Amino acid sequence: MTTRVGIREVAKAAGVSVTTVSHALNDATSFRVKAATQQLVRDVARDLGYAPNKMASGLRNQRSQILGLVSDEITTTPFAGAMIRGAQDAAYDRGYVVMVVNSGLDSELENREINMLRQHQVDGVVYARMYHQSVQVPAELEGLPTVLLDAVTNDRSISSVIPDEVGAAETAVEAIIQAGHSRIGMINNMDDIPATHGRREGFLNALRRHGLKHDPRHFVIGQAGTPGGREAGLGLLCQPDRPTALFCFSDRVAMGVYQAATALGLRIPEDVSIVGIDNLEIIADALWPGLTTVALPHYEMGRWAVNRILDDIENPGVPAAQTQLDCPLIERGSLGPPPS
Amino acid sequence: MTTRVGIREVAKAAGVSVTTVSHALNDATSFRVKAATQQLVRDVARDLGYAPNKMASGLRNQRSQILGLVSDEITTTPFAGAMIRGAQDAAYDRGYVVMVVNSGLDSELENREINMLRQHQVDGVVYARMYHQSVQVPAELEGLPTVLLDAVTNDRSISSVIPDEVGAAETAVEAIIQAGHSRIGMINNMDDIPATHGRREGFLNALRRHGLKHDPRHFVIGQAGTPGGREAGLGLLCQPDRPTALFCFSDRVAMGVYQAATALGLRIPEDVSIVGIDNLEIIADALWPGLTTVALPHYEMGRWAVNRILDDIENPGVPAAQTQLDCPLIERGSLGPPPS
DNA sequence: TTCCCTTTGCAAAACGTTTTGTTTCTGGTA
DNA sequence: TACCAGAAACAAAACGTTTTGCAAAGGGAA
């Protein structure tokens, strides 16, 4: 292993002082070095394979160029991957890098991990949740630029980015209506979280906008997972005046409805159309037929959060903002015209 | 925002020199400070909320306490989350923190990202793949402690950890045999990767060990995803002497077989038993009945990789090793006795 | 009391950058 | 020729730690 090449080696090789090298490489500092010299230094640096030591420069400028990303639970869904990738891509574009920590539900551990991030002098922290929810940000983050990802908090002083739940549901239900349905059911989640309320509201909005009646018997509330969807689906679809289309709280719920429909001998979408939310590809692509669904913009939220935090860092004092991102419809094959 | 409290503030508050503070806090350096003083210093440090600046200490000891984790694709499956969490947990336990970068399939980008990690002086790199495969490690990693995660390379000088593919398949097929089956089929993957060959070998091993004949018509090769499984499943299950149990290359393939079985009016497990590999909970838990499968130890591989790399760092010169981790059977409901 | 050893604490250097004076050089003007 | 302005390069300090080499203090033995 060759000994690391530092700025002094470059200086020596180029026959100039370290100051000149520094100026030549960070051309920011207004022209204190002749263009020719600058070029020379850069060539030498490249030839030597010089790479600046960010620990040293960070120490000097009090800026680590590192961002922290703390998340609750990252193993159960692929959403975490999308968020992390979005965050990391945005960070990379602006010369930053991301440190990921995750602590499950252990807030004691979370605090210690945030403390580690602080020790590494992270310039800011993205505080992420896997499911849109309301949180209280830990006191450990006090004084650090922070952005909430897929979460909101009472304290409006912290910027946050979340999916537009209402709009997502409206998009789904609009598509169902466009396909010609008028007897539309919904299977909602029973948890008291923003997603539950937002998607219900969007569902009702879309119906109202088209003058459709909302039949309370076609609106059921169940457990959020596949078994819950199966159960709710069985209940809904065995009714004689069953809905011709079902809007599901999530793709996993929709999978349960597929199972219910199959068990009842109903074909999708000929007998019943189904639309979900999440665009959980591993499920939506695998179902048969493919599940038409509304995508949650995890990747984009990750990007947005990092960009926002870097804006905050570079340009402090801009008031915090709560942002909602659009959720596009992803068409596969589970939405068709109603049976005649 | 209060001005950061450094070691000198602690020293002043405790009425000692910075040296003493340093010694008191890092008790490693053999007793140069009286026990009482040490206690005092520690109390003061805690009261002041002192947290050492790792950029400074890292610069001084040429050790950042940061590990890099570079992965190919982290958005499609939840496996990435498990690996990252395993890596991060292990790192945390030993006072390290993980920087995640991922570059999709763009090796140019990957190189630049590795270069960024180098600039941040990472002490080592975990080079991870989402699917067990053979790779060539980029030259950029030259000279950095590196461990391969879910990947192998011709160069035996780099340690790696992978799932025991052969053992995983044996576990699955043994379970099927224990349940009483003797006409057992397999749907394998068509890609030329270690997983394909290993699982085939394990399948054959288990059959041979129990003196069972291997009927070539019951061994089919298809696309790795759910559609491939569906297709292969349809072909296998409509044969008059169809197998009574099917071992699938992956849980996604198994999901396709569920669809095929349903389409053919076969019940699981009464008419046909199914076992997968992956323990992709989002699918295995959601299928109805739940899918009995063999778990790939992503979390454990993440832990193992980090621990190995930290061992290498603390104690260089230990020869590289290729490690295989066990894959436990996860029983749900898709494996039962054969139909009588 | 003196000497010497042990214990405890301190000052200073080093890690690899950036940046602020300050010096040296160049060439144009008086 | 002497002087000066401006351009170019440099030396040194600083960022917050750790660690080495020394000095001071304390205590036991002679």
- Residue A25 CB in 7 A reach of strand C: yes
Give Cβ neighbours of residue A327 (< 8 Å, ≥ 6 apart).
Answer: A163, A164, A167, A168, A171, A277, A294, A295, A296, A297
pLDDT tier at A15 (50, 70, 90 boundaries)? confident
What is the Cα–Cα distance from B151 to B153, expressed in whole angstroms?
Answer: 7
B287 to chain A, closest Cα gap in Å: 8
pLDDT tier at B30 (50, 70, 90 boundaries)? low
Pairing of strands B66-71, B97-102: parallel
pLDDT at A3: 59
Contact assessment for residue B269 and residue B238, using Cβ atoms and an 8 Å cutoff: no
pTM for this entry? 0.91
Q: How far is the CA of A41 from the C1' of C22 (A)?
A: 23
- DSSP letter (8 states) at residue A181: -
pLDDT at A174: 98
Give Cβ neighbours of residue B327 (< 8 Å, ≥ 6 apart).
Answer: B163, B164, B167, B168, B171, B277, B294, B295, B296, B297
What is the Cα–Cα distance from A293 to A283, expressed in whole angstroms?
Answer: 11
| Helices of type H across chain A | 7-14, 18-25, 35-48, 54-61, 79-93, 107-119, 165-178, 194-209, 226-237, 251-263, 281-284, 298-314
pLDDT at B1: 40
pLDDT at B3: 60
Tokens of A307: 């960009």
pLDDT at A31: 67
Average pLDDT over residues B290-314: 96
Q: How far is the CA of B8 from the C1' of D23 (A)?
A: 21
- Residue A4 CB in 7 A reach of strand C: yes
What is the nearest nucleotide to B34, using C1' and CA?
C8
DSSP conformation letters of B109-177: HHHHHHHHHHHTT-SEEEEEEEEEEE----GGGTTS-EEEEEEE-S-TTSEEEEE-HHHHHHHHHHHHH
Is the pLDDT score of A59 beyond 60?
yes
Quick check: A1 and B143 CB within 8 A? yes
pLDDT tier at B288 (50, 70, 90 boundaries)? very high
B205 to chain A, closest Cα gap in Å: 31
pLDDT at B4: 74
Average pLDDT over residues B282-305: 96
Average pLDDT taken over every residue of chain A: 92
- Residue B62 CB in 7 A reach of strand C: yes
- Residue A245 corresponds to which amino acid? A
Measured at the CA of B163, the angle between CA B160 and CA B165, to 5 degrees, comes to 125
All residues of chain A having their beta carbon less than 8 Å from the beta carbon of residue B281 are 76
Is the pLDDT score of A146 beyond 50?
yes
Segment B248-280, tens digit of pLDDT: 999 999 999 999 999 999 999 999 999 999 999
What is the Cα–Cα distance from A173 to A185, expressed in whole angstroms?
Answer: 10
Contact assessment for residue B96 and residue B39, using Cβ atoms and an 8 Å cutoff: no
- D strand bases under 7 Å from protein CB: 7-12, 14-21
Starting at the edge strand that comes first in sequence, how are the strands of the sheet with A159-163 ordered?
A322-325, A159-163, A146-152, A124-134, A66-71, A97-102, B97-102, B66-71, B124-134, B146-152, B159-163, B322-325
Give Cβ neighbours of residue A160 (< 8 Å, ≥ 6 apart).
Answer: A147, A148, A149, A151, A152, A153, A322, A323
Is the pLDDT score of B71 beyond 50?
yes
pLDDT winner (highest mean) among A263-272, B7-16, B106-115: A263-272
Query: Among A55-59, B16-20, B89-93, B303-307, whose mean pLDDT is lowest?
Result: B16-20
Contact assessment for residue A330 and residue A294, using Cβ atoms and an 8 Å cutoff: yes
Quick check: A75 and B102 CB within 8 A? no
Measured at the CA of B127, the angle between CA B123 and CA B132, to 5 degrees, comes to 155
pLDDT at A37: 80
Task: Please name which of A282, A86, A299, A276 lies closest in space to residue A195, comparing C-alpha atoms.
Answer: A276
Segment A194-253, tens digit of pLDDT: 999 999 999 999 999 999 988 899 999 999 999 999 999 999 999 889 999 999 999 999
- Residue B208 CB in 7 A reach of strand D: no
pLDDT at B258: 97
Kindly state the helix (H) or strand (E) to which residue A97 belongs, with its residue range: strand A97-102
pLDDT tier at A334 (50, 70, 90 boundaries)? very high
Segment A102-139, tens digit of pLDDT: 888 888 999 999 999 999 999 999 999 988 888 999 99
Is the pLDDT score of B59 beyond 50?
yes
% pLDDT > 90, chain B: 73
- Residue B164 corresponds to which amino acid? D
Average pLDDT taken over every residue of chain B: 92
What is the Cα–Cα distance from A115 to A183, expressed in whole angstroms?
Answer: 53
Name the 3-class secondary structure at A330.
Answer: strand
pLDDT at A1: 40
Is the pLDDT score of B2 beyond 70?
no
pLDDT at B200: 97
Segment B196-250, tens digit of pLDDT: 999 999 999 999 999 998 889 999 999 999 999 999 999 999 988 999 999 999 9
Is the pLDDT score of A29 beyond 60?
no
Contact assessment for residue B189 and residue B249, using Cβ atoms and an 8 Å cutoff: yes
Q: How far is the CA of A19 from the C1' of C22 (A)?
A: 13
What is the nearest nucleotide to B53, using C1' and CA?
D16
Tokens of A282: 């591993």
Is the pLDDT score of B91 beyond 70?
yes
Of A77, A101, A230, the CB nearest to B282: A77
* Phi, psi for A53 (deg, rounded to 5): -85, 110
- Residue A13 CB in 7 A reach of strand C: no
- Residue B244 corresponds to which amino acid? T
Give Cβ neighbours of residue B45 (< 8 Å, ≥ 6 apart).
Answer: B10, B14, B21, B25
Count of helix runs (H) and strand runs (E) in chain A: 12, 12
Give Cβ neighbours of residue A3 (< 8 Å, ≥ 6 apart).
Answer: none
Q: How far is the CA of B16 from the C1' of C7 (A)?
A: 16
Pairing of strands B292-295, B329-330: antiparallel
Is the pLDDT score of A263 beyond 90?
yes
Q: How many residue pairs from chains A and B have C-beta atoms closer than 8 A?
A: 154
- To the nearest 10 degrees (0 to 180), the angle between helices B35-48 and B7-14 is 120
Give the largest CA-CA distance in chain B: 89
Torsional class of B279: left (φ above 0), alpha (ψ -120 to 50), beta (otherwise): left
* Phi, psi for B184 (deg, rounded to 5): -115, 130
What is the Cα–Cα distance from B129 to B127, expressed in whole angstroms?
Answer: 7
pLDDT at B124: 96
Contact assessment for residue B236 and residue B218, using Cβ atoms and an 8 Å cutoff: yes
- DSSP letter (8 states) at residue B218: G
Return the bridge partners of A247, or none: A186, A275
What is the Cα–Cα distance from B141 to A312, expressed in whole angstroms?
Answer: 34
Average pLDDT over residues B37-42: 84
Segment A154-204, tens digit of pLDDT: 888 899 999 999 999 999 999 999 999 999 999 999 999 999 999 999 999
